Structure 1
Amino acid sequence: MKNLKLFLLLTCSFVILSFQKSPISETEPKPEQIKQLLSQAENSVDMMLFDKAQSQLNKSLELAKRINHERYIALSSSILARMYHVRHEYDKGITQLDRAISIQRKIDDQAGLHYSYIMYGKILNSKKEVNRAFKYLDLAEGYYKEEGNLEQLGIIALNKAIFHLNDKSQVKKAMTELKTAETYLEDSTNGYELTRLHYFLARGHLIEGNFKMAEEAAKKSLSIAKDGNFTGMTMYTYGILSEIEEIRNNSAGALAYLKQRNEVRDAVFDANKEALAKELNERAGVDALKTTLDELTLQNAEQEKTLKVNKLTTILSVALITILSLLTLSLYKNNNLRARANELLQKKNSELILAKENAEKASLAKAQFLTTITHELRTPLYAVTGLTHLLLEESPTESQREHLNSLKFSGEYLLSLINNILDLNKLEANKVEIVKSDFDLKKRISDVLIALKNSANERNTKLHFDFDDEIPGRLNGDPLKISQILINLIGNSIKFTEDGDIWISVKKTKQLEKDITLLFEIKDNGEGIGKEKQKAIFDNFTQGSTQINRKFGGTGLGLSIVKNLLSLLGSEINLESELGKGSKFTFELDFETPESEIRKAVATTPVDETKLSNEIMEDKRILVVEDNKINQMITRKILEKNKVLCDVADDGTIAIEKVKNNEFDLILMDIHMPGISGIEATIEIRKFDDSIPIIALTAVTLDDNLDEFYLNGFNDIIPKPYKTEEFFHKINKYLAAKETTV
């Protein structure tokens, strides 16, 4: 008998080991195989089988990379983002969507791109960024209307309804969208979206107080969810049925539904837990089988030991049972104490959540106020700076010129103050993102020094620039934020240095392959800062002293912005200063050397911007779309001084008609106008003319949503009030580009 057992085990071991060692021929995967895996992964997400979905997505991504199928690589990231959304891991979902959208734009995969837009909208809504969420859904809706895709239009209407249901005062809008979704999805076979539709119909009826219709919709949702094995929607539907019964004061019914909901929730947990356990058991199974032969060899030797150990085991078992009994009693008491503590923690947690929501509402209100007041300040400020520019060009007397220069300085100072306050507000609200690109650091710093040279000359201060020759010609980083940091630091040194010198140096401290670290140093021999003030100097609205504030002016925001920007870039500012002897600011930043720099490739540009001049504007037809009569007159006069043939439209509707019936070389478009907005007018113009340059000339605050302007058809943006040099440069750039393409 023992010999037979040993023979069978040896045979099984040989078969398994032979199977493991036999080579498996790998054939090249087919797109249909990847598509099927992605479809299965979506179904697994619907059923909340996250371990299974993750495995399917990993496999599909591996196969797509093997054949370099970029569309399915991007789609894998989009579906992974959907899984993260269901699991409430929103930041991970956004990371995956950014990766997917980047690829989809590159390969012009419009279907995949707008699928990602819908997912982006859902995640932004979950993050309480409702306005941005609606914009992404609107982009997707426009595409699917052109495609005539009723199912996707129904899904978009359903998601818009969900957004509205977050605010109970918007329940009528939500129900309208739900009826639209119901119409579009009438013939759909998409069970998951149908069960969501009826679930949110139930939610809407419940808010309206119509419990009968809410119950009918919820039961319909439950029936579809059970048929499709959509575990998550089954759980949520039991939850809303429990709410309905609770409102009806049917405690028994509410409790029954709640128990069913908890059973489904536990089943979801067990399903994911069992998948992990199964994986571990499969790994352990082969190892256990390999050791069986060794165990049989030692079996006889261990039998004698077992007899001796059995006696000791009996004694230890009795002791263990006694100890476990005592532990059970102790755990029972501890559980009672823990239950009471949990009740107290839940109460405190609810209070903290309420406080957090109130703080977020206050922060949102502050941000909205700043955005509104900024627009209201920029509009009249545009009139001040624009009229000042016109008067300075009309040969004023010396005394008039002095007054006008003072007015120009005051306007620019006020604009700088507004921009600083907005920059600080965006930094504190974590709305500033790092945008990396390839750029010439030496040229960027030289441009900053040129911009600040007049201020330095007025203070009779010399600027000295030292740039390490070992630094590559092009680097990859965020050039805009580096310019902001240097403008604030060098501007601060100029402000507190008269009849002196300022040294700006950049040196390479270390380099590992493509990664390079640079040390920036700004040193002056000006006023200096006392030791007691050096720690507080980087706080908001802080200056060295009241006397310094009166003598030099300013708001004390520049160094605070520098500190926040460097923190965003993973660095920090260091200060060495002595009162009366000057100051030295230093910081380090990490960059990457782009491939173009390594290969010494030379990029070409379609327009040589260094050769642009205002002569190109002569006899060009430019349409100014602006509802404010004063701003309209100022922009027109500035253009006509350069021999531009200028036409004006008071609103978006008039602008569309004029572009249809006339030939223009360029359009300057305001954003906020009565009737049709500038964005809507641009969308309409692009339907029949996709070549004319359209520049947004607007007083709105442009933070991190520039991509949406370009998506809607704008070529560029000029924020008001603007510097005339920047204004003319951008106009000349697009006029020159248009001439080269004609």
Structure 2
Amino acid sequence: MKIKRFIFILFFVFNIPLLTAQNILDHQKDTLRSLIDQSNRAYEVYNYKDAIKYASILIDKSREYHDDYHSFLAYDILGGIYSETDDSVQGRIFSEKALEIARATKVDSLIAWGSLNLAILYSDNKKTYDKAIHFFKESIAINERLKDVDQLYLIYISLAWTYIDNQQFQEAHTILSKADSISEKKKIDPLNKLYIELLFGKYYHAIKDYDLAKKQLESITEEIDNDSITDLAIEVYNNLAEVYYKTDEPKNAFLSLEKYNHYKQKAYTLEKIEETEKARAKFDLKQAQNDLRTVINEKEYSDTLTAILIVATIILIIALLGFFLFFRTRRRYIDHLKNYNEELIVAKEKAEKLSKVQTKFLSTVSHELRTPLYGVIGISTLLKEDPKLKAYEEDLESLKFSADYLLALINEVLLISKMDAEAIKLSKKPYKLDSLIHSITRSFEYSLQQSNNKLHVQIDKNIPNSLIGDPVRLSQILMNLVGNALKFTKEGNVWITLNLISVSKKGSYKTRFTIKDDGPGIPIDKQEVIFHEFTQVENANHSYKGTGLGLAIVKKLLKLYNSKIHLKSAPEHGSEFNFSINLKKNDHQYEESDDETSKSADTDDTKLSGDKHILIVDDNKINQKITQKILDKYNVKSSLADDGKQAVEMSRLYKYDLILMDINMPKINGMEAAVMIREFDKNIPIIALTAVELDEMRVEITNSGINDIIHKPYDRSEFIKIIIKNIPAEKLTL
């Protein structure tokens, strides 16, 4: 995809002065131009680390200077980089953001460019091929209206490339002919002409007209070698090697392969791979050229017939030896070609594994986003309950809804990333099926009231209630499916049905889970795409918003169970989703997990009344105040500590009933502080109040001496339950 994006970046960089906003100062323009130049230069030579750095700075400066054009450029470059490093989700987000900015400016040239780059992004995936063609056509239509033949020429290059890659050769030839006609009427950049010649070569190669393909590709080798046009050279010599191989020219095939690897090595170096954490094939071509030299030493022999026969015999032996060496060398060339193709496949597999690195990045970002979200959700909740602000109740509800929606999106994107990186495994812990289903139905009580729906549950009595497995992942699957059903159903019914299918000799209970609704149903042409990421169907129930990730998460989670989701639906006849998984009976005495224990804890919040004193440890002043105000509502006294060091000192001086401990703090973090407090106080309850990713740190947190965990942002009722659960019974008001 990069070679297709590269030519467009060059075109627009040269036109930056024409497109830059006119209301900013000259030194600001110079700053923006310098940043985009540096990012582009790094991008062109595959230095993605610096390209990302300069693009990020450019976003900040563009916002500061209110320059939408350079903001568009920055997001567009980031979209290209992340797409090329196999992060399709993040690449799509950045590229769509770029197009969103372009549409907001109402500048046709930017909209055409943004549409084009999204088309290029989508063109690399057969599943999104139709979207790619749609965006190509949108960009072409705009540029035809603008009569921008230079841009049209470049678009034709990319569209023809896409058609060839998808074996639509007639369409490719039509587009190439249009581009050729432009070059006959208008002076075109010589580099761009080379791309058209390359594509004609690829086209002839694809339709197996090898003579024309060879002629076309050979005609541009001298120019690309003289100018060292790396990306173009890679494509030309790769195609030439294949054409020579198919026309039984092994020596030329090998020489072309040498050229191909020379340019490939020039573009992709090990140092840049380590800096950008992107795997690329490392070519270590070992030359094994054998020069066949036929040495025929002519000597003067006598004119006798015997001498002539001896010479003829020697010549014949040398010729036979020459043929033997030729065929052996030919076979070696072919073996080289096969070996390097296999190395490319292995390198590609290694590159895909590096996507796991992105999971760590998303975990860090999710923590940084959850922390301010805790403040937004907490403050909006408290203000909404203030009777003095009754007139603003609807606005505060909208604010809290938006924050909740953003939190759901963060959690779902993080979960998708972890599953793509194979960082999620099913746990094995005891749970009760009826408690799990009850918790799920209870979570939708408000939604049911809003949409006037009814939820029906039916569980086969032959399914054991005491199970061992992963209740969290099973809950996520059911929550997404039930939420999806309620999303599209209004004043109707939703059924959750569990039926036992069979019982194995090993004690596995194969169970079918069915979630059915009597809503409007799903059109046949949408039943496949709804399982794609960020895909939604038109929803008449506008009070419910979604991220478009729910069904994609369900599909990926079921892979962990070696199961698949099945859909039955028709317009006006409702929808039915079902899947089958093996449930494992818990033959040992049931023990509640931490999550279930917290849910079953005494919910009588009046027990908090009385002389209770809680220490709140958090380096964020806003979060301190929110937690303190919540405790004030229950008449609980609280003190504040700004970091772990201060928390240890205050715990030595004063007696607290409980400590709420943040984890990520300066000086001494929450876990280190807990270890130090446990040295002089073994009994005081310590609860982690944190936004860190629990899947990665839960064990480390509990091993530090912390009794329980509350994850930010939290539900206030659950917050109070966990506090009540951890305060010793003799200290609670009876």
TM-score normalized with structure 2 length: 0.51
Q: Is 1:458 matched with 2:423?
A: no
Structure that is richer in helix per residue: 1
| Number of residues of Structure 1 aligned to a counterpart in Structure 2 | 407
1:617 to 589, 608, 622: 608
- The 1:603/1:543 distance shift into structure 2, 3 A limit, reads closer
CA contact (8 A) 1:612 1:733 kept: no
2:519 corresponding residue in structure 1? 526
Write the mapping of 1:721-736 to structure 2, written as runs, cut at 5 A. Answer: 721-736=713-728
CA contact (8 A) 2:356 2:422 kept: no
2:528 corresponding residue in structure 1? 535
Shift of 1:684: 2.0
Write the mapping of 1:91-490 to structure 2, written as runs, cut at 5 A. Answer: 344=337, 347-348=340-341, 359-361=352-354, 363-364=356-357, 366-396=358-388, 398-490=390-482
Shift of 1:574: 0.6
Identity of aligned residues (%): 40
1:308 corresponding residue in structure 2? none
Structure 2: distance between partners of 1:441 and 1:716: 24
C-alpha distance after superposition, 1:506-527 (max 9, x if no partner) = 1111123522111111110112
Shift of 1:476: 1.7
Structure 2: distance between partners of 1:540 and 1:602: 35
CA contact (8 A) 2:598 2:721 kept: no
Counterpart code for 2:508: D
Shift of 1:621: 1.9
Counterpart code for 1:698: T
Counterpart code for 2:365: I
The secondary structure found in structure 2 opposite 1:374 is helix
Counterpart code for 1:421: V
Q: Is 1:695 matched with 2:695?
A: no
Structure 2: distance between partners of 1:452 and 1:607: 19
Structure 1: distance between partners of 2:584 and 2:356: 36
C-alpha distance after superposition, 1:237-261 (max 9, x if no partner) = xxxxxxxxxxxxxxxxxxxxxxxxx
C-alpha distance after superposition, 1:459-492 (max 9, x if no partner) = 0111111111222221122111111111110111
Structure 2: distance between partners of 1:595 and 1:581: 42
Structure 2: distance between partners of 1:680 and 1:454: 40
C-alpha distance after superposition, 1:517-556 (max 9, x if no partner) = 11111110112101111112111111224x6697854221
- The 1:334/1:737 distance shift into structure 2, 3 A limit, reads farther
Shift of 1:656: 1.1
The secondary structure found in structure 1 opposite 2:423 is coil
2:503 corresponding residue in structure 1? 511
Shift of 1:591: 1.3
CA contact (8 A) 1:698 1:720 kept: yes
2:627 corresponding residue in structure 1? 635
Counterpart code for 2:555: K
The secondary structure found in structure 2 opposite 1:611 is coil
1:121 corresponding residue in structure 2? none
Q: Is 1:593 matched with 2:585?
A: yes
The secondary structure found in structure 2 opposite 1:516 is strand
Structure 1: distance between partners of 2:430 and 2:412: 26
The secondary structure found in structure 2 opposite 1:596 is coil
- The 1:401/1:449 distance shift into structure 2, 3 A limit, reads same
- The 1:368/1:477 distance shift into structure 2, 3 A limit, reads closer
Q: Is 1:655 matched with 2:647?
A: yes
1:187 corresponding residue in structure 2? none
Counterpart code for 1:615: T
Structure 2: distance between partners of 1:410 and 1:393: 18
- The 1:356/1:506 distance shift into structure 2, 3 A limit, reads closer
Counterpart code for 1:715: N
Counterpart code for 2:485: S
The secondary structure found in structure 2 opposite 1:591 is strand
C-alpha distance after superposition, 1:145-201 (max 9, x if no partner) = xxxxxxxxxxxxxxxxxxxxxxxxxxxxxxxxxxxxxxxxxxxxxxxxxxxxxxxxx
Counterpart code for 1:617: L
Structure 2: distance between partners of 1:351 and 1:560: 30
Q: Is 1:493 matched with 2:485?
A: yes
- The 1:687/1:736 distance shift into structure 2, 3 A limit, reads closer
- The 1:333/1:449 distance shift into structure 2, 3 A limit, reads farther
Shift of 1:579: 1.2
Structure 2: distance between partners of 1:587 and 1:334: 58
Structure 1: distance between partners of 2:404 and 2:521: 26
The secondary structure found in structure 1 opposite 2:727 is helix
Structure 2: distance between partners of 1:489 and 1:606: 25
1:571 corresponding residue in structure 2? 563
- The 1:661/1:353 distance shift into structure 2, 3 A limit, reads farther
TM-score normalized with structure 1 length: 0.51
RMSD over aligned CA atoms reads 3.2
Structure 2: distance between partners of 1:362 and 1:436: 27
Shift of 1:733: 0.7
CA contact (8 A) 2:430 2:592 kept: no
CA contact (8 A) 2:356 2:423 kept: no
Structure 2: distance between partners of 1:606 and 1:412: 25
- The 1:529/1:692 distance shift into structure 2, 3 A limit, reads same
Counterpart code for 1:488: N
The secondary structure found in structure 1 opposite 2:679 is helix
CA contact (8 A) 2:658 2:685 kept: yes
Shift of 1:667: 1.2
Counterpart code for 1:651: D
Structure 1: distance between partners of 2:454 and 2:551: 22
Shift of 1:376: 2.5
- The 1:691/1:347 distance shift into structure 2, 3 A limit, reads farther
Counterpart code for 2:527: Q
Greater CA deviation, 560-569 or 677-686? Answer: 677-686
Structure 1: distance between partners of 2:509 and 2:627: 46
The secondary structure found in structure 2 opposite 1:464 is strand
Shift of 1:614: 1.9
- The 1:683/1:344 distance shift into structure 2, 3 A limit, reads farther
Counterpart code for 2:521: G
Structure 2: distance between partners of 1:670 and 1:488: 30
C-alpha distance after superposition, 1:59-98 (max 9, x if no partner) = xxxxxxxxxxxxxxxxxxxxxxxxxxxxxxxxxxxxxxxx
CA contact (8 A) 1:616 1:735 kept: no
Structure 1: distance between partners of 2:344 and 2:591: 60
Structure 2: distance between partners of 1:497 and 1:655: 50
- The 1:482/1:602 distance shift into structure 2, 3 A limit, reads closer
1:644 corresponding residue in structure 2? 636
- The 1:550/1:461 distance shift into structure 2, 3 A limit, reads closer
- The 1:738/1:692 distance shift into structure 2, 3 A limit, reads farther
Counterpart code for 1:469: K
